Amino acid sequence: MSYNATDWAFKQPVEDSGAKLVLLAIAHHADNKGEAFPSYARINELTGIAKRTITRKISLLVELGLLHAEERTRPNGSRTSTLYRVDIKSGVAHVPNRQGGSAKMAAPHSQNGSTIINQSNKSVNPSYIDDEEKIDWTNLASSTM
């Protein structure tokens, strides 16, 4: 298990949450070279995602360039687990999003779209709340219904 691979996977701007979870499961098994070979059963065990869906998510990750998959066979010709490679030295990938642009990774604490309604019923960005400003949360539930 490589902390670097898991950390790398967390930083990738993958919009599809199922694909991100599959990437994290594979990265969880990666060695220091970024190579892993978990079975579909193991990825299913870690993620709860159906095996058919795992296949589609892996195809998406390969298409996005975040994962390389190499089918392997035994000397007798039977299939064995796929060898996956993640390029943990590449940093954050610029993954094209569905609109044709490039998805950008936001910092986990930066939630620009989220708002809080304060006692004056004004929208406030949570990162700009002053310590002095007091928010009355008691009536929030009744005011939103």
| pLDDT score at 25 | 96
Do the strands 35-36 and 79-85 form a parallel or antiparallel pair, or are they unpaired?
Answer: antiparallel
Check: CB of residue 125 under 8 Å from CB of residue 115.
Answer: yes
The tokens 């089918």 sit on which residue?
71
Q: Can you say whether the dihedral through the CA atoms of 136, 137, 142, 145 is positive or negative?
A: positive
CATH class of 3-85: mainly alpha
State pTM to two decimals: 0.63
Kindly report, as residue ranges, where domains of CATH 1.10.10.10 are found in the chain. Answer: 3-85
Task: Report, as ranges of residue numbers, the positions in the chain whose pLDDT lies below 50.
Answer: 98-132
pLDDT of residue 55: 96
What residues contact residue 26 under an 8 Å CB cut-off, 6+ apart?
9, 36, 38, 43, 67, 84, 86
